[in-house]
């Protein structure tokens, strides 16, 4: 297993692991009921909207994350991943590298912001 995972908050590690196992129930269990996801400016609010977002953007296209780096910035965990999957890559760099900014409340993801990483 990637040694970077050792320094991650358990919820952040569970978020990545559930996505990579293609386990929607475990993935959603990482989020607070009123969490907000901002994926490149497309905002999903609440667990039902996040369920729809994750099905379209993560599970249907079989997305996986390869953890490249992790750090803390203020109240956020910042994880940088290389993204693979069966999604439209038009206009995207090769490789696709995403920065996930994750804020937690009561050990649940309260806010997730995903953007292309500047590498």
For residue 57, the 8-state DSSP code is I
Where do the domains of the chain lie?
A: 3-116
Supply the pLDDT for residue 1: 42
Q: What is this structure's pTM?
A: 0.93
Check pLDDT > 70 for residue 6: no
CA separation for the pair 56, 35 (Å, rounded): 18
Supply the pLDDT for residue 117: 96
Q: What angle do CA 80, 85, 91 make, to 5 degrees?
A: 75
Q: What is the pLDDT of residues 32-50, one digit of tens each?
A: 999 999 999 999 999 999 9
CA separation for the pair 7, 91 (Å, rounded): 33
- Spelled out in words, what is the top-level CATH class assigned to the domain 3-116? alpha beta
Per-residue confidence band for 7, with pLDDT thresholds at 50, 70 and 90: confident
CA separation for the pair 76, 92 (Å, rounded): 25
């Amino acid at each position: 297993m990637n040694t970077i995972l050792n320094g991650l908050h358990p919820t952040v590690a569970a978020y990545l692991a559930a996505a990579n196992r293609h386990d929607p129930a475990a993935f959603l269990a990482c989020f607070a009921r009123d969490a907000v996801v901002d994926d490149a400016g497309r905002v999903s609010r609440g667990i039902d909207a996040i369920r729809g977002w994750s099905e379209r953007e993560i599970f249907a296209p079989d997305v996986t994350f390869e953890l490249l780096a992790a750090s803390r910035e203020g109240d956020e965990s910042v994880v940088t991943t290389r993204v693979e999957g069966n999604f439209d890559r038009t206009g995207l760099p090769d490789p696709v590298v995403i920065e996930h900014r994750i804020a937690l409340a009561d050990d649940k993801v309260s806010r997730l912001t995903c953007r292309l990483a500047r590498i």
